[in-house]
Structure 1
Amino acid sequence: MFRPLHRGVSRSRPNQLAVLTGPRFRHAAEASALTFDPAQTAAIAALAGPVAYGHYLFGDVGRGKTMLSELYYDTVPTTHKRRFHFHSYFRDLQSEVVATRQPVEKSITRIIGNARAVLFDEFHVHDVADAVYLTKTLQSLIERNILVLTTSNYAPADLMPNPLYHDRFLPAINMIESRLDVVSLAQGPDYRQMIVDPTRLSGFSAGRWTLDPTRVPGGLRSPVELTVNALPVRAVAAKDEVVTFTFAELCERPLGVREYLRIAENYSAICVLAVPDLAEADRDPLLRFSNMVDVFYDRNQRIDIQAIAVPARMLQAKEPPYDAARTLSRLSTLSTTG
């Protein structure tokens, strides 16, 4: 259940960090070399305003949410601030809870530390266990008077879209709508798909999606046996900070975000071979594939993929991932060959 906020925290006066950040953020946006569309300009004005607890910035994929939120984050005048990504945060929180066996509220406090401002990027929830953690996290941030900035592809009411569990997330939705300033970037162009100069790309976007239906390896002749979070995982190769796997090994086996994060921490780039026609892939492998793309994109690490068909075939699958649009937007930054 959603507990009422402590009497001393329930207030209407603006958060002082937000008051200080507003003019700095507006100036940084005006001084940048970027051109903003009308919806982005309206969002900048909203983000620059004083708020009691923070902002919830949402909009379609590729609309510049992360760009604006990081610009805002950089102008918050304190060194006591933390940026979290959804996957990394929940991996760390779950590990902390298991290791310490203490109440989740104490684990949240330990992870947040002495931060006075928090950026929570890619705010989404599809798992009921994560929904519980997320509700407690929001409540902890608000009760501690920490300036909150979150980004999401979802309007608050659309979070936890699974109808089986949506009602259990209503307290968190109510908290977002009543405590945070909800800012919409509205519908508009996906700017990731408008990148036209491949020579300027680096990190994730320097990778390639290679169409090659003839190269579909069967069993590995001499696999590299790796251990990832105590799980055996077979790589095609692992050399010079680059690791190569097959789609079957990474996505058809029951690996999770924790494993993808560990791989990303151990290697600077990843190659994925023998990706099938995503229209014919089952639900769970597709979800794992989307999670893997999320992890490497957020860390801005190169990913090269050899596949039978184009990424957009994912939308023709029997059960596409909830966040298929975000995955495809990110994959659109890869150059396509073959």
Structure 2
Amino acid sequence: MITPEQKFQQVAQHNGFADNPAQHQAIGVLNQVFLSVVKNLKKKSCFLFARYFAVKGVYLWGGVGRGKTCLMDVFYQCLPEGCALRVHFYQWMQSVHQLLENNIGRKNPVDYVADQFARKYRVICLDEFLVSDITDAMILYRFLRRLFYRGVTLITTSNTPPDDLYKGGLQRERFIPAIALIKSHMKITRLDHDRDYRYWSDQLSWAFFHPLNAQSQKGMRHIFFMLTGHQVTQADREKILICRRDMLAQCVCAQAGWFLFTTLCEEACGNNDYIELAERFRVLLVEGVPVMDDNRAGATRRFIWLVDICYDCKVKLILSAEVSLGKLYNGVLLQEEFQRTISRVYEMQSWIMNKKPV
């Protein structure tokens, strides 16, 4: 059995990671939790009627690009197969809401759905824990309380300290007990240092074009041809079926799709649309990303969701924009979320250097 500490050393050596005390401290905390979880699982397998003793989880938070997801993935990969779930927070909440909807007529549906997760998984790893939706905020206390009661260990990454979760949200006072639960059932571990590792790449020019002019359009066409071998023309425009409705694509070739920002982020698209796009395409080109601010909060949030889903699904994302990446958002409401988006776009551009045809 390999431990997270040992696994992380292997990953760090293989990828040439610089030595970082904050990461070492965080992986040490995860390693302790891992050993306790494995000990619990062994007791349960030896004694049929033994109960699980609650193992405190980890709430790993810090600035964008600090390696939180990498550390959580190392922890998850070391766990015995089948005992844990690893998922992005927004996808998890989608599945929770769907299960609740399927069990509307049942007594205490929140407890019932939480019990379903607890029966299947001893550990749940949630990437990018961020509460911005009131429907999520209103059920999280009861849901987390039931998971912890059932002995589930929760591991999360977040850019936000627990006390700032859902800050400024509607009816936040009803969410405060969820924060108290997190602080009492999880080890709050900060991972922060001066470097955002995602920015340490000189490949941005390969897949981010600005401003919106003929040169940018030429660059988009060139990289589409480089990846697919297809020359784009206006005749390539077609409607494709996404989530049982038509969506206009500028071009679709093999596993690459070219779309306008207005189509993906200013129309009534949601996470399910982006998930289906990410499942269908290995490369997405998004043309015409404008400067965003609080007056375009809806489009901004959809763009954040799109980037998150492409990142999580390892989809290559190519953008043409009105201004440089760091100047795309001038608002206040979504500033924290958009910093993560910028960091992720930087990292994703390096994926384009793998210029295999799609």
- Whichever residue aligns with residue 212 of structure 2, its letter is P
Per-residue CA distance 1:53-111 (angstroms, 9 max, x = gap): 21111111001000111111112234321101112212222233334435233334445
Q: Is the 8 A contact 1:252 1:284 kept in 2?
A: yes
Q: Is the 8 A contact 1:279 1:313 kept in 2?
A: no
The 1-side partners of 2:88 and 2:8 are apart by 23
The 2-side partners of 1:280 and 1:180 are apart by 34
Q: Do structure 1's residue 47 and structure 2's residue 30 form an aligned pair? A: yes
Q: Percent identity?
A: 26
CA RMSD between the two structures: 2.9
Alignment partner, residue 28 of structure 1: 7
- With 184-193 and 87-96 compared, the bigger mean Cα shift is at 87-96
Q: Is the 8 A contact 2:260 2:287 kept in 1?
A: yes
Alignment partner, residue 85 of structure 1: 88
Which residue among 333, 338, 342 is the counterpart of 1:328? 342
Alignment partner, residue 13 of structure 1: none
- For 1:161, what is the secondary structure of its paired residue? coil
Deviation of 1:207 after TM superposition, in Å, equals 7.0
Deviation of 1:270 after TM superposition, in Å, equals 1.1
Paired residues for 1:135-174 under 5 Å: 135-174=141-180
Return closer, same or farther for 1:332/1:141 CA change in 2, 3 Å cut-off: same
- With 116-125 and 268-277 compared, the bigger mean Cα shift is at 268-277
Count residues with an aligned counterpart: 307
Paired residues for 1:126-137 under 5 Å: 126-137=132-143
The 1-side partners of 2:332 and 2:128 are apart by 25
Which residue among 67, 72, 79 is the counterpart of 1:69? 72
The 2-side partners of 1:183 and 1:161 are apart by 20
Q: Do structure 1's residue 118 and structure 2's residue 86 form an aligned pair? A: no
- For 2:192, what is the secondary structure of its paired residue? coil
Return closer, same or farther for 1:105/1:263 CA change in 2, 3 Å cut-off: farther
Per-residue CA distance 1:250-275 (angstroms, 9 max, x = gap): 11112111211121122222111111
Q: Which gives a bigger RCO, structure 1 or 2 (Cα 8 Å, sep 6+)?
A: 1
- With 207-216 and 322-331 compared, the bigger mean Cα shift is at 207-216
Deviation of 1:187 after TM superposition, in Å, equals 3.9
Return closer, same or farther for 1:251/1:113 CA change in 2, 3 Å cut-off: farther
Return closer, same or farther for 1:320/1:116 CA change in 2, 3 Å cut-off: closer
Give the TM-score taking structure 2 as reference length: 0.77
Q: Is the 8 A contact 1:209 1:334 kept in 2?
A: no
Which residue among 290, 300, 325 is the counterpart of 2:304? 290
The 1-side partners of 2:99 and 2:280 are apart by 21
Deviation of 1:113 after TM superposition, in Å, equals 5.2
The 2-side partners of 1:183 and 1:320 are apart by 24
The 1-side partners of 2:121 and 2:275 are apart by 23
- With 292-301 and 266-275 compared, the bigger mean Cα shift is at 266-275
The 1-side partners of 2:82 and 2:332 are apart by 47
- Structure with a larger share of its residues in helix: 2
Return closer, same or farther for 1:229/1:47 CA change in 2, 3 Å cut-off: same
- Whichever residue aligns with residue 210 of structure 2, its letter is L
The 2-side partners of 1:151 and 1:207 are apart by 29
The 1-side partners of 2:267 and 2:261 are apart by 9
Q: Do structure 1's residue 263 and structure 2's residue 293 form an aligned pair? A: no
The 1-side partners of 2:256 and 2:349 are apart by 19
The 2-side partners of 1:128 and 1:150 are apart by 20
Which residue among 243, 252, 259 is the counterpart of 1:229? 243
- Whichever residue aligns with residue 238 of structure 2, its letter is V
Deviation of 1:179 after TM superposition, in Å, equals 1.1
Return closer, same or farther for 1:213/1:280 CA change in 2, 3 Å cut-off: farther
- For 2:85, what is the secondary structure of its paired residue? strand
- With 28-37 and 116-125 compared, the bigger mean Cα shift is at 28-37
Return closer, same or farther for 1:226/1:147 CA change in 2, 3 Å cut-off: same
- For 2:328, what is the secondary structure of its paired residue? helix
- Structure 1 portions without partners, runs of 5+: 1-20, 199-204
Per-residue CA distance 1:187-218 (angstroms, 9 max, x = gap): 4311111135x5xxxxxx9971112412599x
Deviation of 1:142 after TM superposition, in Å, equals 1.1
Deviation of 1:141 after TM superposition, in Å, equals 2.4
- Structure 2 portions without partners, runs of 5+: 37-54, 218-233, 353-358
